[in-house]
Structure 1
Amino acid sequence: MKRIAVLRCLKSSSRCSGAGCLKILFNKDKVYSKYKEEDIQLAAFWTCNGCDDISLGDEEGLRRKIASMERSSVDVVHLSHCVFKKNTDGSEEVCPQVRAIVSELEKIGVRVEKGF
């Protein structure tokens, strides 16, 4: 069984229920579902700790979240589309705060993927 976590943006969480991410994750009929033939378990649905004027906790709180991913034996963390910011040329890149989280997750051996 594949243990999955979804990471989303704190700013977006003020206006998003996460229903779209969950719908995509559990809709086995969609061709784009990477887990169409696998059993999956949602191990975590979490937010970054924010940036700029919107912030949740501190560095220690974020470290506890990352440690929780390790303790929970998460196989892969999927980055919700809301953690990507559009550049002026239309390309997307992950925000700096989430980029730092990705780096920490990869250090403990957790695979990170964009979306689903």
Structure 2
Amino acid sequence: MEKIGIIRCEKNETTCPLVGCIKPIAGKAQAYKDYEDPQLMGVFTCRCPGDNVVELAGIMKKKGIEFIHFPTCLFSTKTEDGWASEPGGFCGKLPELMKAVHEATGLPVVAGTGHLPKGHIVEVVK
């Protein structure tokens, strides 16, 4: 079993219940397709400008989480034709935050959850 943690963004925490991020876990789809038995173990909310993200990831690691995912909406935008990588998502600092989380925890950090843009290659910092 792979223990998954999701760190979401405060910018949509009151409008998105994470259904699109969580539902693909059970079907091993989207950004979870390479896991044998992914299980969601926890969710935290990052506060801009991301100063708390390393602390959140550290807590997740202490609780046994093995992989940290950042939702697709942080780097992509929902359009009439589906999700698109351009013009970008909620977080302009995502690459920096992913690197900081990995360096602090040693855990693989994944950009993406569900509803990936067509042709998107999942980025993993490890």
TM-score of the two chains, using structure 1 as the length reference: 0.68
Counterparts of 1:9 and 1:32, CA distance in 2 = 18
Shift of 1:23: 0.8
Identify which of 107, 112, 116 aligns with 2:109. Answer: 112
2:46 alignment partner in structure 1: 48
Which gives a bigger RCO, structure 1 or 2 (Cα 8 Å, sep 6+)?
Answer: 1
For residues 52-97 of structure 1, give each alpha carbon's deviation from its aligned partner in whole angstroms, at most 9, with x where no partner exists.
xxxxxx94x54431221221232211221111156xx936478244
**Contiguous gaps of at least 5 residues in structure 2:** 78-84, 114-126
Amino acid at match of 1:102: M
CA shift in 2, pair 1:105/1:63, >3 Å: closer
CA RMSD of aligned residues (A): 3.0
Alignment map for 1:1-116 (pairs within 5 Å): 1-28=1-28, 30=29, 33-35=32-34, 38-51=36-49, 59=51, 61-85=52-76, 90=86, 92=88, 95-107=91-103, 108-116=105-113
Q: Structure 1: 5+ residue runs without aligned partners?
A: 52-57
Runs of at least 4 residues off by over 6 Å: none
The residue type equivalent to 1:112 in the other structure is V
